[in-house]
Structure 1
Amino acid sequence: MTEEAWTGRRLHFVGIGGAGMSGLALVARALGAEVTGSDRAESSYMGPLREAGVEPVIGHDAANVPAGSEVVVSTAIADDNPELAAARGNGATVLHRSDLLAEISRLRRCIAIAGTHGKTTTACMTAHALIEAGRSPSYLIGGDLLTTGRNADWGEGEWLVVEADESDGSFLKLTPDVAVVTNVELDHHATYHSALEVERAFADFARAAGRTVAGESALDGEADLTFGVDAGEVAATDLELSAGGSRFRALGVTVELGVPGRHNVLNALAALIACREAGLDPAEAAAALHTFPGAGRRLERRGATAGGAEVYDDYAHHPTEVRAALEAARLLAPQRLVACFQPHLYSRTRAMARDFGRALALADLVSVLDVYPARERAEDFPGVSGWLVAAAAADAAGGRPVYWTPNMDEAEELLRAELRRGDLAITIGAGDVDRLAGRLVAHGDAGESAPEAATRARGR
C-alpha cells in the first residue's frame, strides 16, 4: 500500500491509549486515515491524539466501532472484548498492531531497534539525532521522545525509526533495512520459556534485516557489526561517568551525554551507529546526542517534594533494568537513594522475584507495591504477589529497611513520612507507579518541561 492509499482508510484502535497503539493511531491519522479508538481509562498518550483530531472513547462497547472500519488490537486485548467480538461477528478486518506496524514500516527506509533492555531510549536517541540534523525522520516509539513530547510522528525524510517489541514475538513480522539489537536476555515468560527461545527469536529478527548492528554479546554470529564498551567492532573507549552524564569516544568522535548511566553509553553508541547507517556523519550525530534530553519514564525527573527530596521515575521492569536505573541514580550522589518498585506481570514476578530483590538492594530504602497485572489474572498465579519481591529485597538488603506497601496510598504515606532534603526517590515499574511520582511532587516543584530538560542536558 502506498502513502496515498491511506487517505480515507478507516481504522478503529481497541486500546488506543497504550504506548504502541497511540503511536500507530497518530501515524495513521497523519497518513490521512479516519481514526477512532477506545480504551478503558485515560492515559497520558491521549493528549497528542486529541491534538491530532482523534477523540478516544473511554470504555469498551460494541457501539464504539464505526461501520466499515478495520479494527486494530494488541496482544493485551482479550478475546471477549466487546469491540473485538463485534468486529469478528460483523466480518470486519481485524489487524494485530504488529501487522499495521509492519505495513507502515514498508513505506519508508526503516531502522528497527530491538533488545530486551534499552530499545526505547536507543530509538529516542536515534530519532532525536536525525531530527536535530534536519533529516525529518518518522518514528514510532514505545515512550515519549522528550524532544517533541510525542511517541510518534510522520516526517518528510526517507527514514522511519521504530521500536521493535519482542514481548509477543510479533517483531518477527518486520523486515527493516537496519536492525539494531541492544542486548538479549530472558523476559516475557508467557512467550519464551528459555533463554534459547529468546536468542532464536532475535536471531530470526536479525536475519530478516538488510543489515544488523548488535551489542557485543547479544547475537552469536548473526550481526554485521557489533558494539560495546571497550568491546566489539565499534567500541566506546575513554569512558567517563559522572552525575552530569558521560563522555566517550567512538567512530573517531567524542560523544558527551547529559543523561547518566553506563547503560545510556551503550544506548548512545547503538544510536550513533544507527545514524551512521542512515548516512549521518558521526560528528553530526555526536553533536545531536549531546542535546538529547532523555526519554519519557526513563530516569525522568518529575520534580521535588515540598520537603526538598528529588523525585524521579523509571520504566524498568526487569532486574537488569532495575539495577541499571539505581546505579544511574546513585551517580547523582543523593544522601539516600529510595526506591519504590511496582512489579509488572505475575509471570515475571514469579520467575524473577529473587533477582528483583537483589537489584533493589542497591537502594538505601525500598518500598514494594503489589503486582500490576496488565493482561494477566491473579487467579492464574496462586501465591504470587509483590510480597515475594519485598521478601527477597529484605533478604538481600543487609539490614537496610524494606517495606511491603501493597497499594499506592500506603506507599505514598510511607514516602511522605520518610523523604527529606537530600534524598532521591525513584518510582520504578512498567505499570502505573508513575502516578505515585506525580502525587509526591503535587505540592512541590512540578519538574522540568522537555525544553528545560534539553537545556539542562546541554549544560547551559
Structure 2
Amino acid sequence: MKINLGKRELIHFIGIGGIGMSGLALIMNGLGFRVQGSDISENKNIDRLKQKKIPIFLNHNKKNLKNSTVLVISTAIKKNNPELVQAKKLKLPIYTRGEMLGHIVSLMKNIVVTGSHGKTTTTSLLSSIFGSAKLDPTIINGGVLNSFGNSAKLGKSNWCLIESDESDGSFLKIPFTYSIITNIDAEHLDFYKSLENLKKNFSSFIEKTPSLGKTFICIDDKNIKEVIKKTNNKNFYTYGLSKDANFNITNTLQKEKYSEFNLKIKIPGSKKEIKKIKIPLIGMHNIKNAASCAAVAFLIGINDKTIKEGLKNFKGVQRRFNFLFKKNDALFFDDYAHHPTEISSVLEGVKEVYKKREIICIFQPHRISRVKNLKFEFSRSFKKADTVILCPIYKASENIKLGFAYEKFAKLIIKNSNINLIKIENEDSLKKLIKQTGYGEKIYIGMGAGSISNWMRNL
C-alpha cells in the first residue's frame, strides 16, 4: 500500500509522547511535513517536540483532529480512543507507526536493528561509528542518545539507522539493506501468543534480506540458531563468542569504565583481526552489541581505525546502566532492564566488574502480564545480586488480575535466586530505606521500564 503525502497534509499522531512516536514525528517534521499530536501527559519527549514548535494536545479529544488529513497511531492506543473513533468516522487514512516509518525510510539505505534485547544500545553504537566516519545518517532510535540529546535526528546522507520494534510485528514492514538481529527471547508473547510464532516472524524478517545487503545475527543465541536452520535465505553473517562465527569475539576484558575485545573476521575475501576494540560499557551483552556494529561497519567499507574510534568515543544512551551519583561510598545507577534476560545480563556484567561491592537491585516489575507470564524466569534472574528491593508492579495501563499473591512472587525470587529481599510499598519507603542503609561498598541499580528511573533520580 503506497501513500503519497503532499506538504498540505496535516499528520496527527495519537500517543505522540512515546519514544518511537516522538522520534518519527521529529523526522517527518524535519522532512517538511506538517505534524501535530496528542497524549495524556507531559514528558521529556513532548518537551523535545515543543522545542521544534510541533503542536501538542494534552488530552484525547475528537476536536484535536480538526483539519487533520492522516492519522498515525501507536500500539498503546485502544480501539475506543475518541480520536481514533473520529478518524474512522471521517474516513481518514490510518497508519501504525511501523507502517508510516516504512514509507518514510523506503528511499534510504537502511540499517535496521531488531531483536528482543539490546536494540537501542546497538543502534546507538552504530550511530557513533557513522558519526566518526562523517556519514551523517538519519537516526531513529528507541532511547535518547547522549551525543545529541534526542532519540531521532535527520541526517544529510542517504543512510538511515533504525531501531525496529518487534513488539507488534511492525519490524516486517520496514525495508532494509543491512540488518542486525541481537537475540530472540520470550518477550511480547501477549501479541505473538507463542515463542514459535515469534520465531516464524524473525524467519520472515531474514527472508527479506536483499541480495545486495546482509543480515548479521548473533550465533550464540539458541533461538536464532533454530530460526536459521529453517530459513531458506542464507544471505547472512554471524557474530559472537562461538568459534564458528564469521565475526568471532576473542580476548575479552572487562573493567569498571570499559570493556575490550578482538574481532576475528572470517568471510569470503577477508581473513583478518581487528585488535583491542574498546567500548565505555560493561557486560558481555554489550561486547556482542558492539561486535555486531563493527561487523556491519567493516562490510560497508568503514576502516578499522574509524570503527575503533567510533566505539571508544560512544557517549551512551539514557537509562542504560547510567551512573547517577555516589553517596557515602555507595554507587547509584539507573537501568531500563525489565525482562529476566536483561536483568541477568546487567547483573552478570556488574558482578564481573564490581567484585568487592555488595549488589542491591531495586526492581520495579513492568506490566502485570509480563510478571504473570514470566514469574519463574524473573525469580531466577537475580542470582548475581545480594539483595533485591522489590517495588510494586508498574501496571502501564493494564487492568488484568495477577492471578497469584505478590507475596508468593517475592518468596519465589528469594528461593530461586538465593538472595535477601525487601518489599517496599512506594517511593517514600524507598527513600527511608536508602537513608538508613545507603552507605559503604554497595552498588544500587534501579531496574524497570516504569517510574523507577524517576525514583532513582529523586534519591
Please indicate, yes or no, whether the TM-score normalized by the shorter chain is above 0.5. Answer: yes
Q: Which amino acid aligns with 1:373?
A: K
Aligned 8 A contact 2:368 2:402 in 1 = no
Q: Which runs of 5+ in 1 are unaligned?
A: 441-460
Aligned 1:69-80 pairs, distance under 5 A: 69-80=69-80
Aligned equivalent of 1:344: 366
Q: Where does residue 246 of structure 2 map in the other structure?
A: 233
| Change in CA separation of 1:94 and 1:386 when aligned onto 2, cut-off 3 Å | farther
Asked if residue 395 in structure 1 is aligned to residue 411 in structure 2, the reply is no
Unmatched tracts of structure 2, length 5 or more = 266-272
Equivalent residue, structure 1, for 2:424: 405
Q: Shift of the alpha carbon at 1:268?
A: 0.1
Please tell me whether the aligned partners of residues 28 and 35 of structure 1 are also in contact (alpha carbons under 8 angstroms). Answer: yes
Q: Please state how far the C-alpha of 1:316 moved relative to its aligned partner.
A: 1.0
- Change in Cα spacing, 1:242 to 1:6, as seen in structure 2 (3 Å) is farther
How many angstroms apart in 2 are the aligned matches of 1:345 and 1:256?
36
Aligned residue number for residue 7 of structure 2: 7
- The one-letter amino acid of 1:194's match is S
Distance 1:438 1:366 in 2: 18
What CA distance in whole angstroms lies between the structure 1 residues aligned with 2:349 and 2:364?
19
From the superposition, tell whether residues 62 and 5 of structure 1 become closer, same or farther in structure 2 (CA, over 3 Å): closer
Q: Percent same amino acid among aligned pairs? A: 29
* CA displacement at 1:119 relative to structure 2: 1.0
Q: Return the offset for 1:2.
A: 11
Partner of 1:320: 341
| Counterpart Cα distance in 2 of 1:99 and 1:382 | 33
Tell me which residue corresponds to 1:130. 130
Tell me how far apart the structure 2 counterparts of residues 247 and 20 of structure 1 sit (CA, whole Å): 31
- Three-state SS of the structure 1 residue aligned to 2:362 is strand
For 1:154-165, list aligned pairs within 5 A. 154-165=154-165
Query: Residues 157-306 of structure 1 correspond to what in structure 2 (within 5 A)?
Result: 157-210=157-210, 211-216=214-219, 217=221, 218=224, 219-221=227-229, 222=231, 224-231=236-243, 232-250=245-263, 251=265, 252-254=273-275, 255-305=277-327
Asked whether 1:367 is paired with 2:389, we answer yes
- Which 10-residue stretch deviates more, 261-270 or 274-283? 274-283
TM-score in terms of structure 2 length: 0.90
Distance 1:344 1:382, change over 3 A: closer
SS of 2:228's partner is coil
Give, as a single letter, the amino acid of the residue that structure 1 aligns with 2:228: D
1:100-139 to structure 2, matched below 5 A, reads 100-139=100-139
**Structure-1 separation of matches of 2:405 and 2:376:** 13
Q: Secondary structure at the match of 2:191?
A: coil
SS across alignment from 1:339: strand
Q: Distance in 2 between matches of 1:384 and 1:45?
A: 36
Distance 1:168-1:260 versus aligned 2 partners, 3 A rule = same
Would you say 1:92 and 2:113 are equivalent positions? no
CA RMSD of aligned residues (A): 2.2
Structure 1 length normalisation: TM-score? 0.89
The letter for the 2-side match of 1:426 is I
Q: 1:151 to 1:391 in 2, by over 3 A?
A: same
Contact 2:189 2:195 in 1 (8 A): no
Count of aligned residue pairs for this structure pair = 436
Pair 1:415–1:375, CA change in 2 (3 A): same
Are residues 45 and 434 of structure 1, via their aligned partners in 2, closer, same or farther at CA, if it must alter by over 3 Å?
same
Task: Note the C-alpha offset of 1:69.
Answer: 3.0
1:449 corresponding residue in structure 2: none
| Mapped pair 1:419 → 2:438 | yes
The secondary structure found in structure 1 opposite 2:136 is: coil
- For 1:3 and 1:170, the matched residues in 2 are separated by 17
Name the SS of the counterpart of 1:373 in structure 2.
Answer: coil
Read off the aligned partner of 1:391 and give its amino acid letter.
Answer: K
Inter-partner Cα distance in structure 2 for 1:146 and 1:53: 22
